[in-house]
Amino acid sequence: MKTWEGYTRGINLGGWISQCPREQAHYDSFIGEQDIQTIASWGLDHIRLPIDNDVVSDEEGKFTEGIRYVDNCVKWCRDNGLNIILDLHKAPGYAFYNQDNTLFTDAHVQDAFVGLWKEFAARYGKFSDFVSFELLNEVVDAEPGLWNDLVRRAICEIRKVAPDINIVVGGIRWNSASTLELLDPPYDVNIIFTFHFYDPFLFTHQGAKWIKPLSDLSLQYPGNIEDYRRTVKDLNSYDSHYFTVPGMGRDYLVKRMTPAIDIAKKHDVRIYCGEYGVILNAPGESTVSWFKDMNSIFEEYRIGRAAWTYKSMSFGVINWPGDISEQIIRYL
């Protein structure tokens, strides 16, 4: 499979200008150039920067004063030898956590979405040697045809001013590996398909307070597959994939990632895992084992990736106790 050179090992900066307090004091303190220097010192080659549209633009998709935080991060990455993906995490009329999204039903909102990407292209398109664009994070509720139509429209506008910049596109259902097959084939050689990976979800999200059925879970990785099967039964949730593998471990992870790998081969397209990680509630040594297996798979199949996430957000890589953070960083 093709490798996305320069975007092989990275990390997200979640919680800075996305899913964050709308306060200048937060923007000015959460991430600084020293953090970028730290990430570079780990031997990583890129950052994925989640961006909420209302932090950097108005309702019509025109940049506001908040775009300076993106400007700063782009400069810090350039100065420290890192590439960067500008990920539109929240868009006009859309956020993955909302129930009332209008992006795929309102023509005016779609105009704002495309207009915002025209702004990004005009401002950062000239930096295609180290900047890439990700059109939208975790499309959840769109019909595949509607999403494909909007992708095509946005790409056409970006290409008018940034003909060779890399553009990252994910499938529906939270960027599932299994929905990449619903995307139109890549329009050119600078399109990258992305997926997110948090399997086994019971392990990576155990104790998540925002997912009530998981708030009291405690599971090991690899652990015993029977524990996973028993847990989904206790939760009254039929997750058949736990019953179609002989055990939990690396083979299970490969099986769950295979749809993305197959699409990469079918379309000869580069694929990229934009998010993967483990909640801080999970057992530390099990978490290290999970990252070790993930690293092994990414390396075998030449898949670029960015861990979720650098700090805080319940998944912060640097927030693990003891030497767990150091061990995780080794396997990013």
Residues carrying an active site annotation = 138, 275
Task: Enter the DSSP assignment of 236.
Answer: T
Contacts of 278 (CB under 8 A, 6+ apart): 203, 204, 287, 290, 291, 315
DSSP string, 102-140: -TTT-HHHHHHHHHHHHHHHHHHGGGTTTEEEE--S---
Euclidean distance between the first and the last CA atom of the chain, given in angstroms as a whole number: 20
Q: From CA 292, how far away is CA 298, in angstroms rounded?
A: 10
C-alpha closest to that of 187 among 165, 219, 205: 165
86: exposed, middle or buried (C-beta count within 10 Å: 0-12, 13-18, 19+)? buried
Asked if 68 contacts 33 with a C-beta cutoff of 8 angstroms, the reply is no
- CA angle, 301 then 305 then 308, to 5°: 140
Closest CA to 16 of 64, 69, 53, 57: 69
| β-bridge mates for residue 194, sequence order | 170, 272
Tallying the residues shown for the chain, one arrives at 332
Q: Looking up tokens 């025209």, which residue turns up?
A: 118
Distance set, CA 112 to CA 58, 104, 109, 127, 133 (Å) = 9, 12, 5, 23, 17
Q: SS3 for 311?
A: coil
Q: Are 285 and 321 in contact (CB under 8 A)?
A: no
Asked if 308 and 318 count as a contact pair (C-beta separation under 8 A), the reply is: no
